[in-house]
Amino acid sequence: MAYENIQVSREGPIATLTVNRPKALNALNSATLRELLQAVREAAESSRALILTGAGDKAFVAGADISEMAPMTPWTAREFSELGHLLTAMLEDIPCATIAAVNGYALGGGLELAVACDMIYASENAKVGFPEVTLGITPGFGGTQRLVRLVGKLRAKEIIFTGVDGALPEGGGEDRHPRAARRRPREAPGGARLRHPAPGGEPPGGGDLRAALRHPGPRRGDARVPGKEARQVRGKVK
């Protein structure tokens, strides 16, 4: 299928989806969300890992396309938000590993896409935040719930209430995420579906967003298993 706003490439069992709207800092409009939904759906069953990134070095995804949102009615705004919810839920639930390769700005909906992935690798110039709150708009793709699970309630409140954006630490994102994608499939031989980590306990990074964004977050529907059993469950596959 031909796409106008994204690019799809494949290297063996690894699919890479690139949001390709660099002049708009890869902002998400309705057409882009629909194309991402279709591409993720197609890649889910035929890939062992999926990398999501943005074209250029300025932005991963700089949020929703304000030029499209400005004239929206309450009903069209709801439809737009539902598209984002469908996409982030799909990224969260598909059987293959999902990796966000964050280059530049990951703001608003861009940060929400990133935290829906299993892993995040960031470039030196990566910056994250929810600046839409300064416009009186709450994050609309489920990011408020996922961020709490990722960094803890107090740190998530600070980010959501203030819209603060910050630089992620140097991590060699461009070099590391392909290696991570290649490693992850070998952990589940024969196409087995991976179990996601059980929720609960101290969030990765102890509430530090920069540290936590480097760890897989808890997933919906996982049972909470304490102690040694939790470690055993995390290492198993379905």
Grade residue 119 by pLDDT with cuts at 50, 70 and 90. Answer: very high
Grade residue 103 by pLDDT with cuts at 50, 70 and 90. Answer: very high
Mean pLDDT value of segment 151-176: 69
Cβ pair 106, 60 in contact under 8 A:
yes
Taking the C-alpha atoms of residue 63 and residue 4, their distance in angstroms, rounded to an integer, is 18
Q: Which residue has the higher pLDDT, 225 or 11?
A: 11
Active-site residue list = 112, 132
Q: Is 74 exposed, middle or buried (0-12, 13-18, 19+ CB in 10 A)?
A: exposed
Return the residue matching tokens 């990722």.
150
pLDDT digits (tens, 9 = 90+) for 54-91: 999 899 999 989 899 889 999 998 999 999 999 999 99
Which element (helix H / strand E) includes 102? Answer: strand 97-102
Cβ pair 218, 149 in contact under 8 A:
yes
Taking the C-alpha atoms of residue 9 and residue 224, their distance in angstroms, rounded to an integer, is 37
Q: 6-11 and 14-19: which strand pairing?
A: antiparallel
Q: Which residue has the higher pLDDT, 6 or 226?
A: 6
Q: For the chain, how big is the Rg over CA atoms in Å? A: 17
Cβ pair 110, 60 in contact under 8 A:
yes
Taking the C-alpha atoms of residue 221 and residue 211, their distance in angstroms, rounded to an integer, is 24
Q: What domains does the chain contain, in order, with CATH numbers?
A: 6-176 (3.90.226.10)
Quote the pLDDT of residue 226.
36
Taking the C-alpha atoms of residue 90 and residue 226, their distance in angstroms, rounded to an integer, is 27
